[in-house]
Chains A and B, each alone.
Chain A
Amino acid sequence: MNLLLVLPILIPLTAAALGLTAWKRPGLQRSISVAGAMALLVASVMLLAATNRGDVLATQMGGWEAPYGITIVADILSSIMVLLNAIIGLAVVIYSLGALDPQREAFGFHPLVHALLAAVSGAFLTGDLFNLYVWFEVMLMSSFVLLTMGSGRAQLEGAIKYVALNLVSSALFLAAVGLLYGATGTLNMAHLAERIGSADPRATTLIAMLFMVAFGIKAAAFPFFFWLPASYHTPPPVVSALFAGLLTKVGVYALIRTFTLCFTGDMAFTHEVILWIAGFTMLSGVLGAAVQSEFRRILSFHIVSQIGYMLMGLGMAGVALAAAESADESTAVALRGAAALALTGSIFYVMHHIIVKTNLFLVSGIVQRLFGTGDLDRVGGIWRTRPVLSIMFLVPAMSLAGIPILSGFWAKLTLVRAGLLAESWWIVAVALFVSLLTLFSMTKIWGEAFWNAMPPGREDPTATVRSDRGLRIMMTVVMLLGAVTLAIGFAAQPVFDLAGRAAKQLLSPGVYADAVLGGRQSSIPPVDADGGAP
């Protein structure tokens, strides 16, 4: 059990270390990288199998008891996220074998990807807020190097915006961690859940808002999203795909974790704010996408708008729970049910989104390979020359827009149903409207790049591109991810049940706290009401 919990961090970390020691031997690096990514997938499937029934696993690093040491803890949500991380890791590593130029590969692409995977796994599995900060930093460093690798002018410009904004987020995060420690005397999330109630509620709400801003920047939520569309279209598509799938979702995960476990004191306020942020994030992302005409820029703006849907579930859940406290008994039961459904929707949405978004970026990589550009004005007629590729775009694109029986439809349906049950009318209206605009955006890409012929006067450059081994590898990965999307869509019930169990676990944090703290009473005397600071 100890082993199972640390493996999702250890495997990519070891792969990164071994990859570094094989610095001058790209062939060996590739083998280590692929083997590491496969092992990570196996380990995370085993982890999900172990937590799937509702047990929360925990281990104390170095044998130092919580709340003093660092706890690594896995519940269903963490295990799902780790599994998604592993799927994306494997997909990107294999795709890179066909897509990446040798210079960038020699610059340490494989070790960096694994360092990033280790950091993301760590962020999903840690039970300690300061440790979460450390994983965020590891993530920022490895993603920064991946982003600047190759040092194109546009790349550096995007990277500077990316790093500047993320450093602000880190500083806010660290400040909030310090304040929280001053107010409660602990940073272990389970311990925090027990003790935060006895701290000054004004202080804890303030700290909760600081965390919301810090994680909101990471998640690219309104109004802090502009770093994302400014940087994601600049690196090689395989790097964009990795980032698009994972990075912002770590921010979303951190928000879901802390705002269901720790900051639940004033949900009528904090989660109402999250709900507003969600609405604005959806709208601003999709409107931003409507005016773009470059493949990956459009997709980048859509990441932003999709983040809104994920936050919408979290916000609705909190608002419904807060309303349930003052409602009469039958309404309260209904509202709690709506809250569980809303969180289920959020988790389902994250699962669907990570696969679909990475896949779309990978498709954009193939288009870029064929045409040498992602500019929609200079791309066309793919449907006639490459119908398979077109279908491979259509599956994730229509899923993103929420066309029935694809995975995105079920995710949106769950959220909308929860919204109707919780009577959050306006956010449901926004979600449906944004969904329509998403469809518009996807049909725009479909029309200009795939359906319409090449613009007149331009030669079709794909005629000269032969289907070499690289393209075949890229196509295989895209097809496999498309198959996962279809599987989530057609077998929605088991996935929905899984997300539902994860949501239920989030709403009863006692299990989590017992697993981390060993079911014992806290041995540290509680802080007095005015914060306990000298």
Chain B
Amino acid sequence: MNSLVLRTAARFLLPLLLVFSVVLLLQGHNEPGGGFVGGLVSASAFTLYAVAFGRDAALRAVGINLQVLAGLGVTIAILSGVPALVLSEPFLTGHWATVPIPGIGDVKIGTPLLFDIGVYCTVWGVALIMVLNLAEE
């Protein structure tokens, strides 16, 4: 679509939406949000970009093959369950560590976050595959 307003808006909205999707991803464990919604938001960010600049430009902006992205997501999600298996606990049992990060304070990081990141990548990739395939027709 050849619209100056849309192109300009899309250029600014893409990073903004991506930051928002990461915020959703990170707050998801205890508050509304999570990997699934975050992935959808980031997919819609690139969909907007595709509407403004075309499908190929959006694919270049993602920078990684979408199928590979989805596959990596599932792999990360599976890996998040592995620490529990090594400790011979039930698969996917959560493990947390408190990491002091200068300037922010103590941050709790755990395997459920890793799982959510996996979901984020999978949803991001799969949703974009579907939308961009439809855009191709």
A and B: interacting chains: yes
Measured CB to CB, the residues of A under 8 A from B are: 2-3, 6, 10, 13-14, 16-24, 59-63, 72, 108, 111
Flag if B70 contacts A20 (CB, 8 Å).
Answer: yes
A63 in contact with B75 given A20-B67, A20-B70, A108-B67 (CB within 8 Å): no
A3 in contact with B74 given A20-B67, A20-B68 (CB within 8 Å): no
Flag if B75 contacts A2 (CB, 8 Å).
Answer: no
CA distance A226 to B74 in the complex (A): 35
Chain B's interface size range is 20 to 34
Q: Which of B71, B78, B81, B89 has the most CB of A within 10 A?
A: B71
A-B pairs, top 10 by smallest CB distance, nearest first, are A20-B71, A17-B74, A21-B71, A63-B93, A23-B67, A62-B92, A17-B75, A6-B91, A17-B71, A59-B90
B72 within 8 A of A: yes
A62 in contact with B90 given A18-B71, A20-B71 (CB within 8 Å): yes
Flag if B65 contacts A62 (CB, 8 Å).
Answer: no
Instruction: State how many angstroms separate the Cβ of A345 from the closest Cβ of chain B.
Output: 35
B9 within 8 A of A: no
Question: B74 touches which one: A6, A13, A63, A108 (CB < 8 A)?
Answer: A13
B98 within 8 A of A: no
Which of chain A's residues have a CB closer than 8 A to the CB of B73? 17
B33 within 8 A of A: no
Q: List 6 A-B contacts (CB under 8 A).
A: A16-B74, A19-B71, A20-B70, A59-B91, A61-B90, A62-B90
B30 within 8 A of A: no
Which of chain B's residues have a CB closer than 8 A to the CB of A23? 65, 67-68, 71
B83-99 at interface with A (beta carbon < 8 Å): 84-85, 88-94
* Chain A contact surface mostly: helix
Question: B85 touches which one: A2, A17, A18, A21 (CB < 8 A)?
Answer: A2
CA distance A13 to B71 in the complex (A): 10
Which of chain A's residues have a CB closer than 8 A to the CB of B88? 2-3
Which of chain A's residues have a CB closer than 8 A to the CB of B92? 61-63
Flag if B78 contacts A13 (CB, 8 Å).
Answer: yes
Flag if A62 contacts B74 (CB, 8 Å).
Answer: no
A21 in contact with B89 given A10-B78, A13-B78, A108-B67 (CB within 8 Å): no
A21 in contact with B72 given A60-B90, A62-B90, A62-B94 (CB within 8 Å): yes
Flag if A3 contacts B85 (CB, 8 Å).
Answer: yes
A-B contact count (CB 8 A): 67
Which of chain A's residues have a CB closer than 8 A to the CB of B72? 17, 20-21
Flag if B89 contacts A2 (CB, 8 Å).
Answer: yes
Which of chain A's residues have a CB closer than 8 A to the CB of B67? 20-21, 23, 108
Instruction: State how many angstroms separate the Cβ of A128 from the closest Cβ of chain B.
Output: 14
Measured CB to CB, the residues of B under 8 A from A are: 65, 67-68, 70-75, 78, 81, 84-85, 88-94
Which of chain A's residues have a CB closer than 8 A to the CB of B75? 14, 17-18, 21
Instruction: State how many angstroms separate the Cβ of B123 from the closest Cβ of chain A.
Output: 14
A62 in contact with B91 given A23-B68, A24-B65, A111-B71 (CB within 8 Å): yes
Flag if A21 contacts B91 (CB, 8 Å).
Answer: no
Instruction: State how many angstroms separate the Cβ of B125 from the closest Cβ of chain A.
Output: 8
Which of chain A's residues have a CB closer than 8 A to the CB of B85? 2-3, 6
CA distance A23 to B81 in the complex (A): 24
A14 in contact with B78 given A19-B71, A21-B71 (CB within 8 Å): yes
Flag if A63 contacts B71 (CB, 8 Å).
Answer: no
Q: Which of A14, A20, A62, A111 has the most CB of B within 10 A?
A: A20
CA distance A63 to B65 in the complex (A): 35
Which of chain B's residues have a CB closer than 8 A to the CB of A18? 71, 75
Which residue of chain A is the closest to B77 with respect to CB atoms? A17
Instruction: State how many angstroms separate the Cβ of A268 from the closest Cβ of chain B.
Output: 40
Which of chain B's residues have a CB closer than 8 A to the CB of A62? 84, 90-94
Which residue of chain A is the closest to B85 with respect to CB atoms? A3
Question: B90 touches which one: A19, A22, A63 (CB < 8 A)?
Answer: A63
Instruction: State how many angstroms separate the Cβ of B35 from the closest Cβ of chain A.
Output: 15
A17 in contact with B68 given A2-B90, A61-B90 (CB within 8 Å): no
CA distance A309 to B15 in the complex (A): 59
Which residue of chain B is the closest to A63 with respect to CB atoms? B93
Which residue of chain A is the closest to B74 with respect to CB atoms? A17
Which of chain B's residues have a CB closer than 8 A to the CB of A21? 67-68, 71-72, 75
CA distance A10 to B78 in the complex (A): 8
Other than the given A2-B91, A17-B73, A21-B75, 7 more pairs (CB < 8 A) read A2-B85, A3-B88, A3-B91, A6-B85, A16-B74, A23-B71, A63-B84
Instruction: State how many angstroms separate the Cβ of A435 from the closest Cβ of chain B.
Output: 44
Which residue of chain A is the closest to B66 with respect to CB atoms? A23
Which of chain B's residues have a CB closer than 8 A to the CB of A17? 71-75, 78
Instruction: State how many angstroms separate the Cβ of A115 from the closest Cβ of chain B.
Output: 9
Which of chain B's residues have a CB closer than 8 A to the CB of A2? 85, 88-91
Which of chain B's residues have a CB closer than 8 A to the CB of A19? 71
Which residue of chain B is the closest to A24 with respect to CB atoms? B65
Instruction: State how many angstroms separate the Cβ of A60 from the closest Cβ of chain B.
Output: 5
CA distance A17 to B67 in the complex (A): 9
CA distance A21 to B94 in the complex (A): 26
Which of chain B's residues have a CB closer than 8 A to the CB of A111? 71
Q: Which of A13, A18, A62, A63 has the most CB of B within 10 A?
A: A62
Which of chain B's residues have a CB closer than 8 A to the CB of A63? 84, 89-90, 92-94
Which of chain B's residues have a CB closer than 8 A to the CB of A20? 67-68, 70-72, 74
Instruction: State how many angstroms separate the Cβ of B133 from the closest Cβ of chain A.
Output: 11
Which of chain B's residues have a CB closer than 8 A to the CB of A59? 90-91
Instruction: State how many angstroms separate the Cβ of A46 from the closest Cβ of chain B.
Output: 15
CA distance A59 to B94 in the complex (A): 15
Which residue of chain A is the closest to B70 with respect to CB atoms? A20
Which of chain A's residues have a CB closer than 8 A to the CB of B65? 23-24
CA distance A14 to B77 in the complex (A): 10
Which residue of chain B is the closest to A3 with respect to CB atoms? B85
Instruction: State how many angstroms separate the Cβ of A503 from the closest Cβ of chain B.
Output: 29
Instruction: State how many angstroms separate the Cβ of B128 from the closest Cβ of chain A.
Output: 14
Which of chain A's residues have a CB closer than 8 A to the CB of B68? 20-21, 23
CA distance A464 to B86 in the complex (A): 56
Which of chain B's residues have a CB closer than 8 A to the CB of A108? 67
